Amino acid sequence: MTNEAQADCLIGMHLPRTMAELRTEAACHLLRVLPDRNMAVLFSGASTDEGLFAVELSIGEGCPLILDSKVPSDAWTGGELEKFPVHYKGHSIGELQVEGEITPDQAEGIEEILLHFAVAIVNIKLNEEALRSTDQYCASLQAFEKGVVLFQESNKEAVGARFLSLTSAVLGIQASALFILEVIGDPDSPLGLDQAMGIPDVMLDELRLPDRTWWPATLLDGSLQCFERQEDDSFPPLGGIVPPVLNSIVAIPLRYHGVLAGLFLAFNVALQDAMMDERLESDRRLSELGAALFHRFGLEEAAVNERELKTQLQIAANI
């Protein structure tokens, strides 16, 4: 194949719009240069763990690296390996590891393929990141649109009921619970059940870890978390017998600008739904609005209590 023909052929590597399509295209080009070889491409930009690489390509039955796994660069041991760096705009973003010897002509072809592969994979990653940002922005707008009704309520109980109704409707569920801290903003204060929908209070009280610690109180430090019943019928990290009616639980701490207000639990969420990521993001945004409102109610209650105390002290002083 002439250099011009090869260049025209490699242009096809920039057409895919998903990682799966790009992997197929890149594998075809690599196998054309190195037929029947075991090889893998490690990508450093896909891993948030220091020192680990994401396996973006795994070719050949003898390749020990599993696609999409995260491994150190020296994870492939045994046998003679040739390594080719993957560069993008002067930055090293990964490497190709090939089993066996490589001729100069093959090395030249590989470097040309990796040059195009690097540009294509970075473009797809950037596009995916842009789509995630757009989805998050849309989720914020949708949450604000739905959450406007929360600001129309004048008391805490009504806001709690509206909040449960909205967040449950977004996830398409029938059972949920709202827990509020006794002192909003103080994660060490007791967490109490404010309102529940579609689930008995006694069942919420039995959500405990193996050491009998009340599980909801341990979920305040984290972010949004999803839990599912396992094939062996266990429900980690919960201990004991979890009622069979519970198949999944989503926990969302209510936090606004660093102020922790409580916790929202959603039960039997269809986590495999194609649109669930967007729905969960909408609920997370709604939880921020809820936290802001509950924080406001807490400040108002504190102000009322302070005024009453001053009044009583003034009366006592007059007496």
Cβ–Cβ < 8 Å for 184, 259:
yes
SS3 content of the chain, % helix, strand, coil (to 5): 45, 20, 30
Give domain status of residue 57, yes or no: yes
Is the same domain home to 209 and 306? yes
For residue 100, being part of any structural domain is answered with: yes
In sequence order, which residues have a C-beta less than 8 Å from that of residue 311 and are 6 or more positions away? none
Report yes or no on 136 lying in a domain: no
Full-model pTM:
0.58
Q: Count of domains in the chain? A: 2
CATH of the domain at 51: 3.30.450.40
DSSP-derived secondary structure letter, 148:
G
Same-domain check for residues 64 and 100: yes
Last residue in a domain, options 131, 161, 188: 131
Q: Tens digits of per-residue pLDDT, 94-124?
A: 999 999 999 999 999 999 999 999 998 888 8
What does the pLDDT look like over 226-245, one tens digit per residue?
A: 999 998 888 999 977 788 89
Pairwise CA distance, residues 146 & 164, whole Å: 12
Residues 161 and 126 both lie in one domain: no
Residue pLDDT tens, the chain, 319 long: 545 555 557 777 888 888 889 999 999 999 999 998 999 999 986 444 567 899 999 999 999 999 999 999 889 987 789 999 999 988 889 999 999 999 999 999 999 999 999 998 888 888 877 776 666 656 555 666 666 667 666 788 888 888 998 899 889 899 999 999 999 989 999 999 999 999 999 999 999 999 999 999 999 988 999 999 998 888 999 977 788 899 999 999 999 988 999 999 999 999 988 788 888 988 888 899 889 888 888 777 766 666 777 777 777 777 6
Residue 208 in 3-state DSSP? strand
Residue 32 lies in a domain: yes
Residue 145 placed within a domain: no
Domain that holds residue 19: 3-131
Omega prior to 237 cis, within 30 of 0: yes
For residues 103 and 161, membership in a common domain is answered with no
Strands (E), 148-247: 175-181, 191-197, 225-228
The amino acid at 65: L
Across the strands, what pairs with 59? 39
